[in-house]
Amino acid sequence: MRSMKKILAGAVISVLSVGSLVAAEKVDLAKAEEIVSGRCFLCHGLEGESASPVFPRLAGQHAEYVARQLADFKSGKRKSDTMKPQAEELTPAEMKAIGVFFENKKFGGRPAKDAELLAVGKFVYNRGNQFTGLPSCASCHGPNGLGSPQLPRLAGQHPRYVEDQIKQFNKRERNNDNAVMHTVASKLSELETHAVAEYVATLE
Same fold, 29-103 and 115-200: yes
- pLDDT for the residue numbered 178: 81
Non-local (6+) Cβ contacts of 40 within 8 A are 58, 86, 98
CATH of domain 115-200: 1.10.760.10
- pLDDT for the residue numbered 15: 37
In angstroms, rounded to a whole number, what is the distance separating the alpha carbons of residues 85 and 82? 7
Non-local (6+) Cβ contacts of 124 within 8 A are 134, 136, 137, 188, 192, 195, 196, 199
- pLDDT for the residue numbered 25: 61
Domain with residues 29-103, CATH architecture: Orthogonal Bundle (1.10)
Residues of the chain with pLDDT under 70: 1-25
- The pTM score is 0.85
Domain ranges of the chain: 29-103, 115-200
- pLDDT for the residue numbered 16: 38
